[in-house]
């Protein structure tokens, strides 16, 4: 049966369930005696088991089934919840998440092996919670593994009569293996299991012979193990792993046959067919794998509240009404051009304007999702990291319901993880250090989101040791990020923000978590790629705060339209600080750069016309119109010929043919149908 149509629903629902499970697990850890949490997890595991069973995802079903067993014991009070059990439950959660991720990406559960995990769960169930003694037994499965040398004697397949086939195999580059598969003691359907083994093997090569014979295996006429002679192009480990992934397999021994023994034999023709078949199979598998990687993820979707869609529908119907009204006006206008029809026209246009604005708003809202989607993985991240680091850290989150555009959500995850890791790893001190400096042992990281005008602000704050400008200064000069002279002129805030420059990483010691050389500059470029900004405030000894500002939407922005000669350009309004007039005679030259003193600060003046290659003749007007733009804390004045006004513009890409054009971030279409370019002030200075 084709399940693909249900796959998306399955993935969506599983993800929701897993999310809830994650939250409850975190709660459970804090309050291990709360039975209602356990009941909830049990219910989720049960639902997942049912769902995945129906879909035929056996690994998920298997794992959740075992989880259920343990949870049931716990619920009945037979086993007490310990941190060990919670840890294992977290591991299960991770495994489940990976299965679902794999399903989403390539439609199969992937090769993650959860047998060890299943074993741990079974151990808990068997030992009724005497888990403290269990840690030593975790490696139990590997102990029972017999060495290949011992087993090779035990192979029962006579090779003499088929050695010519084997020889031919070597010639074709196909490797023969003897494989011994041992089933679990408690395996009920031995025939079914071995059938799966054969199936798996046939996918990657060809089974030449087996002991006992295939028919006998089908009739379950064997003990716990059987052997096969197998031809494949894959290597030993791969075969083994594939087989070990099948459940209820206790052990697999793969023994390659050596080439030397068969080199001098003659060839037989009928084998060629078989080998060609093997080649075909291997080719097929390769193609399949390729398809898997090529097949993109399930398409991006947004779950939309029905109310929002209704609103959209209403607006569209109003749009249709106004269209009819305009048509109507058009015919009346042809008959008589008088004052009243003109008024009607204006009224209709105003109405139309209102509808388009609302429509824009409504469509934007449809694309909006709460930042919760990104935030909800952080409690777990902080928990795991602080455990690993031996620090006591509490995470506060607020404003999870704040909504941003779907595309922004996808992009913001990684930078946030990076910042949080930074705070945990480098920001917050170890409990000892904290006690010494008179702070509470428990550190905190706060993650806040809130809307701010046309932006959404996300803050990551910690109460750690803060960032020392002196260290940054030294490092920045050392690493040639800035010159010594330049750094002396900077204030503390500017110095701290040097952190975002490329090639800067403060930690000498590379830890597993952060400080791998790629640093905050990546965070910055990622955020800037979605038109956001990031800055940091920090007080030594008290902590640091990273502030990310993101645009609400990417497609439509407010812009100031300006003239440069006859050409019109758009400057995004959120880059503009103010507009002013400057006397030409106030401009002085400092290091080949024109500057003026404005509001007691030096303001670099940029001759926009020259930068945009319009013309290089400078008019000698006494007064210049200057648009002051800001990039973080840096400001510059753009000289323009004239101002047109503020306008809402739709951002369009210039396309692939014209990429990487300096100072231009895109284009927009004006009311008269012509194209105006959008200036990117960030690239001007």
**Catalytic site positions:** 46, 68, 422
Closest approach, Cβ 618 to other proteins, in A, equals 18
Q: Which stretch binds other proteins (CB under 8 A): 32-40, 208-216, 296-304, 647-655?
A: 647-655
Q: Which is nearer to other proteins, 125 or 663 (CB)?
A: 663
Alpha-carbon distances of 176 from 32, 232, 257, 281, 346, rounded to whole Å: 53, 6, 6, 15, 85
474 Ramachandran zone, left/alpha/beta (phi>0; psi -120 to 50): alpha
Q: Which is nearer to other proteins, 51 or 679 (CB)?
A: 679
Closest approach, Cβ 567 to other proteins, in A, equals 7
- Residue 661 sits in the site that holds other proteins (CB under 8 A): yes
Q: Which is nearer to other proteins, 243 or 649 (CB)?
A: 649
Q: Which is nearer to other proteins, 357 or 653 (CB)?
A: 653
CA 147 to chain centre: 42
Alpha-carbon distances of 73 from 38, 84, 133, 645, rounded to whole Å: 11, 15, 18, 71
- Residue 671 sits in the site that holds other proteins (CB under 8 A): no
Beta carbons of 24 and 38 less than 8 angstroms apart: no
Binding letters toward other proteins, positions 141-180, x by CB under 8 A: ----------------------------------------
Beta carbons of 227 and 155 less than 8 angstroms apart: yes
Q: Which is nearer to other proteins, 276 or 661 (CB)?
A: 661
Closest approach, Cβ 612 to other proteins, in A, equals 5
- Residue 677 sits in the site that holds other proteins (CB under 8 A): yes
Task: List the one residue from 572, 663, 665, 680 that touches other proteins (CB under 8 A).
Answer: 663
| 414-419-421 Cα angle (round to 5) | 95
Task: Give the contacts of 326 (CB within 8 A, at least 6 positions apart).
Answer: 348, 352
Sign of CA dihedral 48, 52, 54, 59: negative
Tokens 């087993």 sit at which residue? 151
Give the pair of three-digit tokens for residue 51.
């769902």
- Residue 659 sits in the site that holds other proteins (CB under 8 A): yes
The burial class, CB within 10 Å (0-12 / 13-18 / 19+), for 558 is: middle
The burial class, CB within 10 Å (0-12 / 13-18 / 19+), for 343 is: exposed
Q: Which is nearer to other proteins, 614 or 644 (CB)?
A: 614
Residues in 562-591 at the binding interface with other proteins, rule: CB under 8 A:
567
Task: List the one residue from 75, 430, 654, 685 that touches other proteins (CB under 8 A).
Answer: 654
CA separation for the pair 63, 67 (Å, rounded): 6
Closest approach, Cβ 656 to other proteins, in A, equals 6
Task: List the one residue from 11, 86, 664, 685 that touches other proteins (CB under 8 A).
Answer: 664
Q: Which stretch binds other proteins (CB under 8 A): 185-193, 195-203, 392-400, 648-656?
A: 648-656
Instruction: Label the pairing between strands 443-452 and 393-398.
Output: parallel
443 Ramachandran zone, left/alpha/beta (phi>0; psi -120 to 50): beta
Closest approach, Cβ 220 to other proteins, in A, equals 58
- Residue 655 sits in the site that holds other proteins (CB under 8 A): yes
- Residue 653 sits in the site that holds other proteins (CB under 8 A): yes
Residues in 601-630 at the binding interface with other proteins, rule: CB under 8 A:
612-614
Q: Which residues bind other proteins (CB under 8 A)?
A: 567, 612-614, 652-659, 661-664, 667, 669, 673-677
């Amino acid at each position: 049966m084709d399940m693909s149509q249900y796959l998306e629903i399955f993935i969506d629902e599983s993800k929701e369930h897993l999310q809830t499970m994650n939250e409850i697990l975190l709660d459970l850890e804090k309050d291990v005696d709360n039975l209602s949490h356990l009941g909830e997890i049990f219910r989720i595991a049960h639902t997942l088991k049912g769902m995945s069973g129906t879909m035929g995802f056996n690994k998920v079903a298997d794992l959740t089934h075992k989880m259920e067993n343990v949870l049931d014991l716990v619920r009945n009070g037979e086993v007490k919840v310990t941190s060990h059990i919670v840890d294992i439950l977290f591991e299960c959660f991770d495994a489940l998440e990976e299965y679902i991720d794999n399903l989403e990406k390539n439609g199969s559960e992937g090769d993650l092996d959860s047998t060890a995990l299943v074993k741990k769960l079974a151990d808990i169930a068997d030992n009724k919670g005497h888990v403290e003694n269990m840690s030593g037994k975790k490696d139990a499965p590997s102990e029972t593994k017999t060495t290949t040398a011992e087993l090779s004697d035990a192979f029962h397949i006579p090779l003499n009569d088929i050695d010519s086939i084997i020889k031919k195999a070597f010639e074709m580059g196909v490797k023969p293996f003897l494989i011994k598969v041992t089933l679990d003691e408690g395996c009920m359907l031995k025939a079914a299991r071995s059938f799966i083994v054969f199936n798996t093997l046939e996918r990657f090569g060809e089974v030449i012979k087996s002991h006992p014979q295939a028919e006998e295996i089908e009739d379950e006429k064997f003990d716990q193990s059987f052997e096969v002679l197998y031809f494949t192009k894959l290597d030993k480990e791969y075969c083994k792993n594939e087989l070990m992934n099948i459940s209820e397999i206790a052990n697999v021994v793969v023994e390659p046959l050596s080439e030397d023994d068969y080199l001098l034999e003659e060839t037989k023709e009928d084998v060629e067919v078989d080998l060609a078949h093997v080649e075909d199979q291997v080719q097929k598998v390769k193609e399949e794998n390729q398809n898997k990687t090529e097949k993109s993820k399930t398409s991006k979707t947004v779950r939309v509240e029905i109310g929002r869609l209704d609103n959209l529908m209403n607006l569209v119907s109003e749009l249709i009404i106004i269209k009819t009204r305009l048509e109507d006006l058009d015919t009346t206008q042809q008959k008589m051009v008088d004052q009243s029809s003109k008024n009607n026209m204006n009224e209709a246009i105003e109405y139309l304007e209102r509808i388009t604005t609302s429509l824009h708003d409504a469509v934007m809202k449809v694309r909006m999702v709460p930042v919760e989607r990104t935030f909800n993985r952080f409690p777990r991240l902080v928990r795991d990291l602080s455990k690993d680091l031996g620090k006591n850290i509490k995470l506060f989150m607020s404003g999870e319901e704040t909504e941003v555009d779907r595309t922004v959500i996808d992009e913001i995850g990684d930078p946030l993880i990076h910042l949080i890791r930074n705070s945990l790893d480098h920001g917050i001190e170890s409990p000892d250090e904290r006690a010494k400096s008179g702070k509470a042992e428990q550190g905190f990281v706060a993650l806040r989101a809130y809307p701010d005008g046309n932006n959404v602000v996300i803050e990551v704050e910690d109460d750690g040791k803060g960032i020392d400008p002196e260290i940054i200064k030294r490092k920045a000069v050392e690493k040639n990020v800035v010159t010594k002279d330049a750094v002396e002129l900077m204030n503390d805030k500017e110095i701290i923000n040097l952190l975002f420059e490329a090639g800067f990483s403060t930690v000498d010691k590379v830890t597993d978590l952060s400080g791998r050389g790629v640093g905050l500059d990546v965070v910055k470029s990622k955020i800037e790629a979605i038109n956001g900004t990031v800055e940091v405030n920090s007080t030594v000894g008290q902590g640091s705060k990273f502030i990310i500002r993101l645009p609400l939407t990417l497609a439509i922005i407010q812009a100031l339209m300006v003239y440069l000669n006859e050409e019109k350009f758009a400057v995004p309004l959120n880059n503009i600080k103010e507009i002013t007039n400057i006397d030409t005679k106030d401009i002085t030259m400092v290091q080949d750069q024109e500057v003026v003193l404005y509001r007691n600060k030096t303001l670099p003046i940029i001759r926009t016309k020259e930068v945009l290659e319009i013309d290089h003749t400078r008019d000698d007007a006494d007064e210049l119109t200057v648009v002051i733009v800001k990039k973080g804390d840096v400001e510059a004045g753009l000289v323009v010929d004239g101002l047109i006004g503020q306008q809402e513009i739709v951002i369009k890409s210039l396309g692939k043919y014209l990429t990487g054009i300096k100072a231009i971030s895109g284009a927009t279409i004006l009311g008269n149908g012509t194209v105006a370019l959008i200036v990117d002030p960030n690239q001007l200075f």
